[in-house]
């Protein structure tokens, strides 16, 4: 049973946010669990225009992506959380590049543990609260919930931006059957800036706030299982796993600060390897460098395919 108490939902909200901060999350915002009416036509059009490429899973569970109550029956609140991954050290200049989010331990494992702790705190403090944790693990529109919860606005590159810390962070959620105080969205501060659109090596940002996923370097180097189309030869800017160009050029990311999560620290070889060393990497060394990394998603064969395509 949920504890009978006169403590208002405002106190629950404050204690949840304080615990999220203690666990190392950058910020925590909360929104009402309801159908995402504005996002529905956008998602439908994006899928109809085949901007998801070969990511067929994006076509699945359309209703669940838009309605959290179908994922967690009886849910009342979506608790959105940001976790910083901006590194203190970067890869050596002139080498093949890996997206910063994949430098250390796979974020799924790191964040899932923190979400478990936060959920345990909620049930310990409040009583019988039912909910589920999500880290890219189900059809949840993370960015939509983050913006609804006031954690930032959707940039023209479709990453969530915050005036305080930019965009180098992971987004995760707890969807719970507990009513809380809800935050309000913040205003868009992209203005007339088109830095991300202008810098995208493959012109994947086809219009402000619209990314054609089937043209994105991250899609080619991670999601695509077949050969990379020759039409894109010479356009990869040395990215062998993922791509950070649209974030690197964003003026708001000058406010990015290094994370404090030891598990996100990279294997030293990831930072120091030259192009030649990457070209000659063996499967054994690949397994060592990326032992617990998200890079393992593309497998050794996939990374070598990417390197051979761009070298």
What is the bridge-based pairing of β-strands 27-32 and 77-84?
Answer: antiparallel
If you write DSSP's letter for every residue of 2-41 in order, what string do you get?
A: PPP----HHHHHHHHHHHHHHTT-SEEEEEE----TTHHH
Angle at 195 between CA 193 and CA 201, to 5 degrees: 150
Give dist(CA 99, CA 243) in Å, integer: 5
In which residue are the tokens 């009342």 written? 76
**Residues contacting residue 33 through CB under 8 Å, at least 6 positions apart:** 68, 69, 72, 75, 76, 77, 78, 175
What are the distances in angstroms from CA 209 to CA 18, 198, 245, 299? 32, 13, 16, 31
**C-beta of residue 30 within 8 angstroms of C-beta of residue 14:** no
What does each C-alpha distance from 297 to 106, 107, 110, 216 come to in angstroms? 10, 12, 16, 17
Nearest by Cα to 152 from 204, 234, 58, 81: 81
136 part of the active site: yes
Structure tokens at 141: 């529109």
CA nearest neighbour of 122 among 27, 7, 2:
2
Q: Which of 49, 67, 106, 136 is catalytic?
A: 136
Between CA 164 and CA 131 the distance in angstroms is 30
Q: Enumerate the active-site residues.
A: 136
């Amino acid at each position: 049973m949920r504890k009978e108490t006169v403590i208002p939902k405002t106190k629950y909200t404050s204690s949840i946010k304080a615990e999220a901060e203690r666990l190392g999350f950058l910020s925590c915002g909360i929104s009402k669990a309801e159908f995402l009416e504005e996002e529905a036509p956008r998602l439908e059009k994006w899928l109809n225009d085949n901007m998801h490429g070969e990511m067929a899973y994006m076509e699945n569970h359309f209703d669940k992506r838009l309605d959290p109550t179908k994922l967690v029956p009886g849910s009342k609140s979506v608790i959105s959380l940001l976790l910083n991954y901006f590194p203190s050290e970067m890869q050596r200049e002139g080498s093949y590049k890996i997206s910063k989010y994949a430098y250390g331990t796979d974020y799924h494992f790191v964040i899932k543990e923190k979400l478990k702790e936060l959920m345990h705190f909620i049930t310990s403090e409040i009583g019988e609260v039912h909910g589920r944790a999500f880290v890219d693990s189900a059809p949840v529109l993370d960015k939509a919930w983050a913006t609804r919860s006031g954690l930032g606005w959707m940039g023209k590159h479709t990453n969530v931006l915050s005036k305080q810390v930019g965009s180098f962070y992971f987004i995760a959620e707890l969807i719970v059957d507990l009513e809380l105080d809800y935050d309000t969205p913040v205003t868009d501060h992209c203005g007339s800036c088109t830095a991300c659109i202008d810098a995208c090596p493959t012109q994947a940002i086809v219009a402000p706030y619209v990314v054609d996923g089937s043209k994105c370097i991250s899609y080619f180097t991670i999601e695509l299982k077949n050969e990379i189309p020759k039409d894109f030869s010479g356009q990869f800017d040395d990215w062998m796993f993922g791509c950070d160009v649209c974030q690197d050029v964003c003026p708001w990311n000058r406010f990015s600060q290094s994370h404090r999560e030891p598990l996100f620290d990279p294997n030293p070889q990831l930072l120091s390897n030259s192009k030649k060393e990457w070209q000659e990497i063996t499967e054994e060394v690949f397994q060592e460098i990326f032992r617990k990394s998200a890079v393992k998603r593309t497998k050794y064969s996939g990374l070598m395919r990417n390197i051979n395509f761009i070298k």
